[in-house]
C-alpha cells in the first residue's frame, strides 16, 4: 500500500543548549578522568534517556549528599544549580565537589546576591519546588526572597518598603507569561529593579520562538522531552497557546499514540533543551515507517553559545 504523505516542520533551534552540553560533558569527562563511580546530586539534566545513559557508564545519581560515601570520588552538582549549603556541606566532608551549574543560572544567583547586599527584597519569578528555584532561594538567607508563580500572586504581595524591591526569574519559563508577570510587578511596584539583561536564557527564548512560528502551521506538534523538564513543558504550552490542535510532550517513539497521530498530514517537531537529537531522529523514523515524509526545517535563530567545562575538569584536561 502507498504510504500517505506527511510534511514535518522541524523547529530550529531545538534540543541541547550549551548549559546542558556542559553538564553532560562534565559527568562524562569526570568518568574518563577518575573512573566510576562519579556521584551526581539530582538528575544532571531533566531527561530520563540522558540520565539512564550516564548511569550505565558509571554515574550514580543521589538525592542528597548524605548518600555519597566518604572518599575522593567526584560529586557533581546539576545544571539547575544548588543552594549554597550544598557545596559548603561537601567541603565540610572533604568531598571532591564539581559544580556543573549552567553559567546562566549562576548569573541569576549573582544578581540575587547583589540585590540582597544592596538591601533589596527579591521577588523570584518561578515554579515552586523546581531545582533551579530551590537553588536560587538557597543563595540567600531565609526570608530574603518571595516566590511569584502567577499574576494572581501579585495581588497578595505587601512589603513595608516598596522602594527596596528587585526581581529575578527562573531561566526556563514561558517568555510571554513571564513578560506579563514582570509588567504587572512594575505596575504594582514602580520602583522595582530588574536584571540588566533578562534572566530567561537564550535557549528557552529561541526554542519558544521557533515553536511560535511552526505551531499555527501544523495539525499536530510533538515536543520531545521529559515530563519533569520545565523548558519542555513550556514549549508544549506555547504550542497550545499558538493554536495547534494537538500537542504532546513525548520522551520516545514508543510513546506515540497512533490513534492521535495516524491521520495527520502536517506535523511540527521540537525538542526541549535537555532532549538529545537522537530522540528526535527516533520519532521521525517512526513516522517515516508509516508516512511518505517530507522534512522542512524552520529556523528562527542561529546559536553558537559555548560554555567551557568546570575549572576542575579543564585543569585536568590541560594536564
Q: What is the pLDDT of residues 290-306, one digit of tens each?
A: 999 999 999 999 999 99
Q: Over 60: is that where the pLDDT of 317 sits?
A: no
Domain with CATH 3.40.50.11270 in the chain: 20-102
Give bridge partners of residue 193 from the DSSP assignment: 166
Architecture of domain 104-188: 3-Layer(aba) Sandwich (3.40)
> Which one is catalytic: 43, 64, 88, 132?
132
Q: Which secondary-structure segment (H or E) carries 223?
A: strand 220-224
Place of cell 527564548: 205
Lowest mean pLDDT among 11-15, 70-74, 86-90, 311-315: 311-315
- Give yes or no for a contact between 104 and 79, defined as CB atoms under 8 angstroms apart: no
Q: Where are any strands of DSSP class E within 37-191?
A: 38-41, 59-62, 74-77, 96-99, 121-125, 145-148, 165-169
Domain with CATH 3.40.1010.20 in the chain: 5-16+202-299, 104-188
User: Which class is 5-16+202-299 in CATH?
Assistant: alpha beta
Whether 132 sits among the annotated catalytic residues: the reply is yes
Mean pLDDT rounded to a whole number for the chain: 95
What pLDDT is recorded for position 315? 65
The rounded percent of the chain whose pLDDT value lies above 70 is 98
Pick one of 3.40.50.300, 3.40.50.11270, 3.10.180.10, 3.40.50.1820 as the CATH number of 20-102.
3.40.50.11270
pLDDT in tens, 263-276: 999 999 999 999 99
Rounded to 5°, the CA angle 53-54-55 comes to 90
What pLDDT is recorded for position 200? 85
Residue 198's pLDDT band, with cuts at 50, 70 and 90, is confident
Q: Per-residue pLDDT averaged across 103-129, rounded?
A: 97
Under DSSP, the state recorded for 308 is P
Q: Per-residue pLDDT averaged across 121-126, rounded?
A: 98
Question: Whole-angstrom Cα distance, residue 202 to residue 129?
Answer: 23
Q: Over 80: is that where the pLDDT of 316 sits?
A: no
Q: Per-residue pLDDT averaged across 222-236, rounded?
A: 96
What pLDDT is recorded for position 318? 44
Q: Which secondary-structure segment (H or E) carries 27?
A: helix 18-34
Question: Whole-angstrom Cα distance, residue 40 to residue 176?
Answer: 33
Give 157's Cβ-side CA count (13 Å radius): 26
Under DSSP, the state recorded for 195 is -
Question: Whole-angstrom Cα distance, residue 67 to residue 130?
Answer: 21
Grid cell at residue 241: 497557546
Question: Whole-angstrom Cα distance, residue 60 to residue 275?
Answer: 20
Amino acid at each position: 500500500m502507498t504510504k500517505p504523505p506527511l510534511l514535518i516542520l522541524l523547529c530550529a533551534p531545538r534540543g541541547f543548549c550549551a548549559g546542558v552540553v556542559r553538564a553532560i560533558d562534565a559527568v562524562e569527562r569526570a568518568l574518563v578522568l577518575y573512573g566510576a563511580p562519579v556521584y551526581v546530586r539530582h538528575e544532571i539534566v531533566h531527561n530520563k534517556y540522558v540520565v539512564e545513559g550516564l548511569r550505565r557508564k558509571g554515574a550514580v545519581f543521589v538525592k542528597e549528599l548524605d548518600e555519597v560515601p566518604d572518599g575522593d570520588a567526584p560529586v557533581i552538582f546539576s545544571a539547575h544549580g544548588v543552594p549554597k549549603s550544598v557545596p559548603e556541606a561537601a567541603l565540610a566532608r572533604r568531598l571532591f565537589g564539581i559544580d556543573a551549574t549552567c553559567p546562566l543560572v549562576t548569573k541569576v544567583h549573582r544578581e540575587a546576591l547583589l540585590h540582597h547586599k544592596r538591601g533589596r527584597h527579591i521577588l523570584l519569578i518561578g515554579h515552586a519546588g523546581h531545582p533551579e528555584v530551590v537553588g536560587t532561594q538557597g543563595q540567600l538567607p531565609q526570608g530574603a526572597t518571595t516566590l511569584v508563580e502567577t499574576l494572581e500572586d501579585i495581588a497578595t504581595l505587601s512589603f513595608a518598603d516598596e522602594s527596596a524591591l528587585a526581581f529575578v526569574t527562573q531561566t526556563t519559563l514561558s517568555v510571554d507569561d513571564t513578560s506579563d508577570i514582570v509588567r504587572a510587578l512594575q505596575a504594582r511596584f514602580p520602583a522595582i529593579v530588574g536584571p540588566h539583561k533578562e534572566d530567561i536564557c537564550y535557549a528557552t527564548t529561541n526554542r519558544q520562538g521557533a515553536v511560535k512560528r511552526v505551531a499555527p502551521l501544523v495539525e499536530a506538534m510533538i515536543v520531545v522531552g521529559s515530563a519533569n523538564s520545565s523548558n519542555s513543558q513550556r514549549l508544549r504550552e506555547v504550542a497550545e497557546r499558538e493554536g495547534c490542535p494537538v500537542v504532546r510532550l513525548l520522551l520516545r517513539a514508543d510513546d506515540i499514540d497512533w490513534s492521535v497521530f495516524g491521520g495527520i498530514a502536517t506535523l511540527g517537531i521540537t525538542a526541549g533543551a535537555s532532549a538529545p537529537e537522537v530522540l528526535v531522529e527516533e520519532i521521525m523514523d517512526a513516522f517515516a515507517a508509516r508516512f511518505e515524509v517530507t522534512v522542512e526545517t524552520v529556523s528562527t535563530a542561529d546559536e553558537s553559545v559555548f560554555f567551557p567545562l568546570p575549572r576542575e575538569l579543564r585543569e585536568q584536561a590541560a594536564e
